[in-house]
Amino acid sequence: MSVSQSLIQSQTQKVPLLNVSGLSVQFETQLGRVRAADDVSFVLFENETLALVGETGCGKSVVASAVMNLLPQNAAVNGNIEFEGRNLLDLGEEEMAKVRGAKIAIIFQNPSLSLNPVITIGDQIAEMLQVHGKAAGRSQSIEKAAGVLQRLGLGERGQLGMYPFQFSGGMNQRVMIASALVLSPKIIIADEPTKGLDSATAAGTVREMEKMKDLSGAALLLITHDPALVQRIADRVAVMYCGEILEIGPCPEVFHEPLHPYTRALLNCLPERGMHPIPGVSPSMTNPPKGCKFHPRCPKRRAKCSQSPFMKQIKANDTETKSNERWIKCWLY
């Protein structure tokens, strides 16, 4: 039985929406092949929020782009991304265009690259509604757009007619969020949605995202560097390191009792846990360490760690916690 199959079976009460299995992404560059995602597998269930965390450059955005089928030409992609009975990686551009935005929406990490600089804020969102046939005419779509923007704190009437360059960083960030939510997609991928927002605005924005998500029963794949945000809104968390998922499990359990040595090291960087940096340097992605990629920095390494570990389900009686939903890629278990 494959990892993803048993992953599904272990939680039969939940409905899987998106099933990523054995995803690998490699980029060809002049200085070698970058292994940005390596055998990544996870399931996203209806209604849930799954957080994807890990240090910068570990491959989080690459996974998001792979799901959207938006990776650049120099990428070699393998594996399966199953959604509504089809492998998204097999879909042509035309089919994929119908999925993007309407069924799976993404809030990109970088607003300036994804907002159209010559279209007003109101029209950016209204246009999405019209392209996907979700509003009768221009005035209705503008009306709808205004409604969503208002809920995200951009309510002033005059703001609809402004251009992205006339908005602040945080305001554009919220425009991106509005455009992802407006079509009520089944899956929302949010790449650092609160980056650069002050805490009050961030909290308000997240509340609105959650509300709209609950309303439509959508699932949220949340990519973030903010552990407080993860703890507050994520149901499960997946921890990524150098292109691989090393641990995945229910959020409270992972924070309370991290099992993988990397997860422990990562949590020790938190201000409230003493801000202990992880010793050693981030590994190269073109020439990653053999075996477990974390082993050169791992305090618990042993001889076996120079061989690649595989994803393993942890039984409830192995830990303090009670669920059977924890998965670890480490020879310790």
Partner 1 sequence: MLAVLKAEGISMIHESGLFHKTRREIFRNVSLELDGGKTIGLMGDSGSGKTTLARIMAGLEKPATGRVLFRGKDIAFLRGKEQGDFQRSVQMVFQDPEGSLNPRKSIGRSIHEVLGLLKVPKREWLERTSDILQTVGLSEELLCRYPGQVSGGQNQRIALARVLLLEPKVMILDEPTSALDISVQAQVLSLLRELQKNRGLGYLLVSHQPEVMRNMAHEVFVLNNGCLVQSG
Q: Binder to partner 1 among 16, 22, 79, 170 (CB under 8 A)? A: 170
Q: Does 169 bind Mg ion (CB under 5 A)?
A: yes
The answer to whether residues 245 and 213 touch, using CB atoms and an 8 Å cutoff, is no
CA distance 71 to 206: 27
Q: Does 70 bind partner 1 (CB under 8 A)?
A: no
The answer to whether residues 246 and 329 touch, using CB atoms and an 8 Å cutoff, is yes
Query: What is the contact surface with ligand ATP in residues (CB under 6 A)?
Result: 27, 29, 34, 36, 56-62, 72, 74, 109, 165-171, 196, 285
Judge residue 216's burial from the number of C-beta atoms within 10 Å of its C-beta, 0-12 exposed, 13-18 middle, 19 or more buried: middle
Of 156 and 318, which has the nearer Cβ to ligand ATP? 156
Q: Binder to partner 1 among 149, 285, 292, 314 (CB under 8 A)? A: 285
Of 168 and 317, which has the nearer Cβ to ligand ATP? 168
Q: Does 31 bind partner 1 (CB under 8 A)?
A: yes
Binding partner of residue 282 among ligand ATP, partner 1, Mg ion, none, CB under 5 to 8 Å per kind? Answer: partner 1
Position 8, amino acid: I
Q: Does 122 bind partner 1 (CB under 8 A)?
A: no
Q: Does 243 bind partner 1 (CB under 8 A)?
A: no
Binding partner of residue 1 among partner 1, Mg ion, ligand ATP, none, CB under 5 to 8 Å per kind? Answer: none
Q: Does 279 bind Mg ion (CB under 5 A)?
A: no
Interacting residue ranges for Mg ion, rule: CB under 5 A? 61, 109, 168-169
